[in-house]
Amino acid sequence: MDEARRWNIARYKQAVDEGVSPIVVDRNNARSTCTQEYARYALDRGYAVELREPESSWWQEIRVLLKYKQHTKEILYDWADRLAAKNRSTHRVPAATIRRWMDKWKHGLTVEDILNYRPAAIRAKRA
């Protein structure tokens, strides 16, 4: 995975440096230092960074379930099983990984949330 991440970010930076527009990056609503790297690199080079969600009908259902995930976890986890089965021949993302992504999902995520993200270890040191 680390090699794939390095390959992706290198391709991304090359596209930014060449002025390609638009550039679409799927980071799964991730608040992480990796997602920060993508956002900061683009912003530092004059790109506008936007967060978008899929528009498919099945995503609209999942989106609502994620918003109220404290009450809909069982249904969300059923979706994780279905999504894992659906992508078995392409991405091979296990249902457990999809469930973990769902658990971490932040409704209303903003670019500022990503830029201000600090890993738990860093937050603990500052406290």
Q: Count each helix (H run) and each strand (E run) in the chain, helices first.
A: 7, 0
What proportion of the chain, given as a percentage, has pLDDT over 70?
Answer: 94
Structural domain of 23: 1-51+109-127
What band does 126 get if pLDDT is binned at 50, 70 and 90? Answer: low
- Whether cis (ω within 30° of 0) applies to the bond prior to 119 is no
Give the tens place of pLDDT for each residue, 62-109: 999 999 999 999 999 999 999 999 888 888 899 999 999 999 999 999
Please count the structural domains in the chain.
2
Q: What is the pLDDT of residue 2?
A: 86
R_g of the chain computed on alpha carbons: 16
What band does 122 get if pLDDT is binned at 50, 70 and 90? Answer: low
Count of CB atoms within 10 A of residue 114's CB? 22
Taken as a whole, the chain contains a residue count of 127
- Does 36 lie in the same domain as 20? yes
- Does 58 lie in the same domain as 47? no
- Does 96 lie in the same domain as 59? yes
Please tell me whether residue 26 adopts helix, strand or coil conformation.
Answer: coil
Give the tens place of pLDDT for each residue, 7-37: 999 999 999 999 999 999 988 888 899 999 9
CA distance 127 to 113: 19
